[in-house]
Structure 1
Amino acid sequence: MGTYYSVKVARPPAGLSAETLRLQVESALDQVIGEISTYEPTSELSRLNRDSSTDWIPISPNLHAVIAEGQRIAALSDGAFDITIGPLVNLWGFGPEARPDELPTQEAIQAARARVGWRKLELRASPPAVRKARGDLYIDLSALGEGVGADRVATELETQGVGDYMVAVAGTIRAKGRNAKDQPWAIAIEEPLPDQRSVHRLVPVSDRAISTSGDYRNFFVKDGKRYSHEIDPGTGAPIERHLGSATVVGERAMVVDGLATAFMVLGEQRGPALATDQGLAAYFIVREGETLRGFGSPAFEDYLTRSRQP
């Protein structure tokens, strides 16, 4: 998946060794990779992307569930989140292939945009299948993949009787129970600064998932300008926002993972407005000149109030 993972377990069940747990976790993640990775050419998603048919293409229930969530968030965000954005991601060098030396031309961007559009993908639940309006439609589930991995590992841990854990797949975390100090897991929201790692604030997380998306880790600089991996489907180019990061708290890691990306693309005005309208617990950090301003949605402030209660 092109990223890292970490698992912490407090008070593991008797007889469950760290090595056994590691093998089970890696097996769960291998299954996710086999379903939705664009880095793995033999994955189900890679095979789907190579299929140029415009008829119904059967897919697994697991892949259907991820695509369905992507389409739901696309509709919710009016297309700011788009799982068909793969051609643009690859064009700007943020996909599995090496980054080109030169910026893409406007002609290349327009050609890639013609292949992008979540409404060009039709989904069927029973039996699970997808249909492309264009045979060269390319699906990229990276903005949900970290969450899918965290959810799948969490399910495996609970199957093994683990009740206190913290699973992190890059910037998406799923936590349950309490840490080794018998406190809620304290998850840091970082300052959205590219050259350092400093904590902006800590968020207590228990029986919840949390995900942060930002423009300050995955980017490149060309001719003095920074280009983020967050691509705006409307322009076909990396976003240019004052919003440095968006964090979402919810029940499922896959959901908060996708929503955090959607908020980043929507920006510092439309993102918070959508979070407030939908009752979503979200926290935003906005750059205002040389300073950073953080603020939470009403649902986020309610979540913090509840989490402080004994």
Structure 2
Amino acid sequence: MTTVAPTRVAIPLQLSRAAPLLAPLQDIAGRTMGTSWSVKFVGSAAAAQTLRRAIVGVLERVVMQMSPWDAGSALSEFNDGPLGEWHELPREFATVMAEALRIAGESDGAFDPTMGPLVDLWGFGPQGRPPALPSAADIAQQRGICGWRRLEFDASSRRLRRLSACRLDLNGIAKGFAVDLVMTTLRQHGIHHALVEIGGELAGAGLKPDGTPWWVDIDRPSASSGVPALRVALHGLAIATSGCERGYDGPGRHLSHTIDPRSGVPIDNAMVTATVLHQSCMAADAYATALMVMGFDAGIAFATRHKLAAAIRFHRDTIALDERLSPALQAMLD
């Protein structure tokens, strides 16, 4: 007989009063940033087409500003520009850079928006996987030009410049920002009960028509792992998870797409996933990446110190899965 582990439930400590929901649930979806997006909202079917056009427009704007795969994006133009030259950033791009640099400083570079050269070196950028793994000399060379302190940013004028040949890579934060931007767009159109998802990162507001919250499972483990499932009510919250599923097999181990800025190589610290709940999906996105780089001990200590609601899953040995929750997330458990 198979024993099913119980599901734990996390509920925000502060709940807003919601007005009665009289409209039905609508569902629209599409593709962006190499992945899918979906929006569930409480409203009329007539509003769906208007919202779709608005959402597609804001997502295209994010891509044109921050995609490293688009040679004409503002990010690509910055990366290809002369060293030391100031660039005035579009408003959304500047918002993301300000948050990226804030979290880079807070995490002592565990999250770093200048890792483009190392991302490309390991084959996770637009050029794809290299024919051979990089040498120690190649890694040292590229690591030597990276580092968030090699950027100068004037937030008041939205101007940015680089002092080395580092290249921006915002893939660890831009998707979360896009989730926030879509949610803002919904509010601007009078939608206050919705669930937004882009590539597995989500934000929820209000309630479903039946008065229940938007329930989301945190990286549901297999039944055999012994780790019970964790379900979260996304009521005014966003959630982002960083993991090791993306990557490729190298000599003796799987090479994660998450690169440790300190070593310049893919992480090899037993981490499986890091999940962060936050009011901002942009912040949750970047913090989740930082926790993956830090590892389970330093990561949970960081989350505790900064009052982040976080769940960290890691391999206790080569097989067994273990989990640690930060005090802020533990306090949400019902």
TM-score by length of 2: 0.84
Aligned length: 298
> For residues 5-44 of structure 1, what are the structure 2 equivalents within 5 Å?
5-13=36-44, 15-16=46-47, 18-44=48-74
Query: Percent of aligned positions with the same letter in both sequences?
Result: 35
One-letter code of the match for 1:183?
A: T
> For residues 37-56 of structure 1, what are the structure 2 equivalents within 5 Å?
37-56=67-86
After superposition, what is the alpha-carbon deviation per residue over 1:163-197, rounded to whole angstroms, capped at 9, x for unaligned?
2211111132111112354311111222578xxxx
User: Are residues 1:284 and 2:312 paired?
Assistant: yes
Query: Pairwise CA RMSD of aligned residues?
Result: 1.9
Whether contact under 8 Å (2:83, 2:163) holds in the other structure is no
> For residues 1-310 of structure 1, what are the structure 2 equivalents within 5 Å?
2-13=33-44, 15-16=46-47, 18-134=48-164, 136-191=165-220, 200-215=229-244, 217-289=245-317, 290-305=319-334
Compute the displacement of 1:56 (Å). Answer: 2.4
Compute the displacement of 1:126 (Å). Answer: 2.3
Change over 3 Å in CA distance of 1:54–1:42 after alignment to 2: same
Q: Distance in 1 between matches of 2:69 and 2:200?
A: 18
One-letter code of the match for 1:99?
A: R
Work out which of the two has the higher radius of gyration on C-alpha atoms and give 1 or 2.
2
Q: Distance in 1 between matches of 2:90 and 2:331?
A: 38
Deviates more, 1:171-180 or 1:257-266: 171-180
Structure showing greater relative contact order (alpha-carbon pairs closer than 8 Å, 6 or more residues apart): 2
Whether contact under 8 Å (1:192, 1:214) holds in the other structure is no
Q: Distance in 1 between matches of 2:183 and 2:104?
A: 26
Whether contact under 8 Å (1:192, 1:285) holds in the other structure is no
Compute the displacement of 1:36 (Å). Answer: 0.8
**What runs of 5+ residues in structure 2 fail to find an aligned partner?**
1-31
Q: Distance in 1 between matches of 2:90 and 2:256?
A: 32
The SS at the match of 2:294 is helix
Q: Distance in 2 between matches of 1:238 and 1:68?
A: 25
The SS at the match of 2:174 is helix
Q: Distance in 1 between matches of 2:323 and 2:215?
A: 18
TM-score by length of 1: 0.91
- 1:308 maps to none
The SS at the match of 2:211 is coil
**What runs of 5+ residues in structure 1 fail to find an aligned partner?**
306-310
Whether contact under 8 Å (1:211, 1:249) holds in the other structure is yes
